[in-house]
Amino acid sequence: MEKHQKFSIWYVIIAIWGVFLLNNLIVSSYGPKNLAYSDFLTALRNGEIVDVAITGDVISGTMKTTEKGEPKDAPFVTRRVDPSLSDELTKHNVTFRAQPESTFLRDLMSWVLPILLFFGIWYFMMQRMNPGGGVMAFGRNKAKVFAEKDIETRFTDVAGCDEAKDELKEIIDYLKEPERFQNLGGRMPKGVLLIGPPGTGKTLLARAVAGEAEVPFFSISGSEFVEMFVGVGAARVRELFTQAREKAPCIIFIDELDAIGKARGMAVVGGHDEREQTLNQLLVEMDGFDPRVGVIIMAATNRPETLDPALLRAGRFDRQVLVDKPDVAGRLAILEVHAKNVKLGPDADLSTIAKKTPGFSGADLANAVNEAALLAARRGKQVVEMADLDEAVDRIVGGLEKKNRVINPKEKEIVAFHETGHALVARFTPGADKVHKISIVPRGIGALGYTQQLPTEDRYLMTKAELYGRIDVLLGGRAAEALVFGDVSTGAHNDLQRATDIARAMVSEYGMGQTLGPATFPRQNRPMFLSPEQAPLAGREYSEATAALLDEEIKGILMERMDHVSDLLAARRPDLERVARKLLDQEVLDDAQFEALLDVAHVPGPAA
């Protein structure tokens, strides 16, 4: 591998110093004779001075002298001394001279300081333009290289993605025993693309593959390829693959591949030429890559729909591994991994926490365990109890609890009846998730209370009746306010928005409405793994007349479900009053306390 010589300003300083020393040596050896001023006066009286040139106090010229018996004119230089003093010194036959002051240091600084200043500004500008290593390192890649002995991550450290681990075990076997595959004429995929939502452990999984295979690991982010200089990204891709070939077998891991792998032509005008050049170089390197070398290219992204099709074709990233959010068993396994170093109390039930956290990623679960440990330490406990784990999950879902926020009694009463309405509708709606906790303690930015439901299992399909049930639960808070106070508040804003989204999806996406029938017009360009709020706005593919009919049908669904919920709560009015008053008194009710307050036998709820 080519060694890069590091530039040092000290080389320049030493060279300049040497030039000045050599100049002084030449001047002292071959320059004009430095004549004492008294000797100059004597030579002047004797008529030995041929000519002189006076510059300030410096007198230079030529004088008659004899060298090897032959007369010749020799140059000299001297400095003039005060005339009155020189007369006194001459009377007493004292040899005297004017000692010239040394200008060596002054001359040196007059040259060196500007040069140092120039090089300093130049070096600073080069560092600012490329912090990675100076002017000669623009094309040097920024990949972090981990030797096999430095990678301690193993598959036992990764939980909740067993299918992904099974897919990647072939990669490990190939890196350990490539001959077993090559003897049969098989070859491993050149690239493995890990796709999935943020926080599901894609990077951790790639490190575990390198750790299990015990090979070097090159880790770099897609954004680190691209700089302000055109061609730098392509140069870094070339150097990265060159280094990988030298250390084969190894793994190259490119995180956030979509930073350089977006489909060509999708970028806005300006500033994308460098990214496309980097992508083209990556395509060339992967296409001409010999699979027998033993270098596996892995990449991760949460936006696979934006990637260039040339990256995903066979021969490049031809194996795609889904690393999805874990199910309840996977969440339990992840919690057990992160709880290994945490002192759990005897009442800490990780299975309950796993059931309570649907939709949590691995990173969210790790954060929940850590938050629980911090809460227990803050409260002076010796172990992490179940209450700490519950509080940590509530903090992640709803935000920080704000016990010091002052709420007037009227608003607090509205919030209590609002949350009780949600809970009662959830309790008496067939197929709805079980109520786990009701709270009127403010959390986060705008949440004045919340009703937490605990699903009994992970769901991947929902029926029309179950979607209606979800709308009913969301409308329960507003219906309770209208029933008890004869008025409604702004507290149901988010509930109404979510209920409207479900109704709109039923009609326009799931084919459960009357206007479109089995036809569907889903929202376009929605990210596969990002939340709907992060999706770009898209136009619709139907006429204004159809849109008006859809809006009318959505309104009809919401009005119908609101009437149903109002009837249910009216029939359960005593339960509504009893639970709300208890909630005002205690502020938080768990599932057992909630069930104990209900009079299930005497007042049946209406059918859905």
- What is the per-residue pLDDT across 342-356, written as a single tens digit (0 to 9) for each? 888 888 888 888 888
Q: Among residues 260, 345, 355, 254, which one has the least CA distance to residue 295?
A: 254
Q: Which of 336 and 516 is assigned the larger pLDDT? A: 336
Q: Decide if 209 contacts 171 (C-beta within 8 A).
A: yes
Q: How far apart are the first and last CA of the chain?
A: 74
Residue 128: pLDDT band with limits 50, 70, 90: low
Judging by beta carbons within 10 Å of its beta carbon (0-12, 13-18, 19+), is residue 194 exposed, middle or buried? buried
C-alpha distance from residue 262 to each of 157, 258, 277, 324, 347 (Å)? 32, 5, 12, 22, 49
pLDDT attached to residue 136: 42
H or E element, residue 417: helix 409-427
Q: Does pLDDT of 75 surpass 70?
A: yes
Using DSSP's 3-state secondary structure scheme, residue 189 falls into coil
Q: What is the pLDDT of residues 250-292, one digit of tens each?
A: 888 888 888 888 887 655 444 457 778 888 888 888 876 666 6
Domains of the chain: 32-100 (no CATH), 144-322 (3.40.50.300), 328-398 (1.10.8.60), 409-596 (1.20.58.760)
pLDDT at position 132: 44
User: Is the predicted pLDDT of residue 23 greater than 80, yes or no?
Assistant: no
Among residues 30, 31, 26, 33, the alpha carbon closest in space to that of 76 is found at: 33
The CA distance from 267 to 139, in Å, is: 24
Annotated binding-site members for ATP: 196-203
C-alpha–C-alpha distance, residues 282 and 390, integer Å: 47
From the centroid of its chain, how far is CA 483?
Answer: 48
Is the CB of residue 476 less than 8 Å from the CB of residue 424?
yes
> pLDDT > 90: what percent of the chain?
13
Residue in this structure with the two tokens 């769901």, named with its chain if needed: 459
CB 220 within 8 A of CB 266: no
pLDDT at 3 over 50: no
Kindly report whether the peptide bond that precedes residue 249 is cis, defined as omega within 30 degrees of 0.
yes
Radius of gyration of the chain (CA): 42
Write down the pTM of the prediction: 0.66
pLDDT at 440 over 60: yes
Numbered residues of the known binding site: 196-203, 418, 422, 495
552-608 pLDDT tens trace = 999 999 999 999 999 999 999 999 999 999 998 888 888 888 888 887 665 454 444
Point out the residues that are catalytic.
Answer: 419
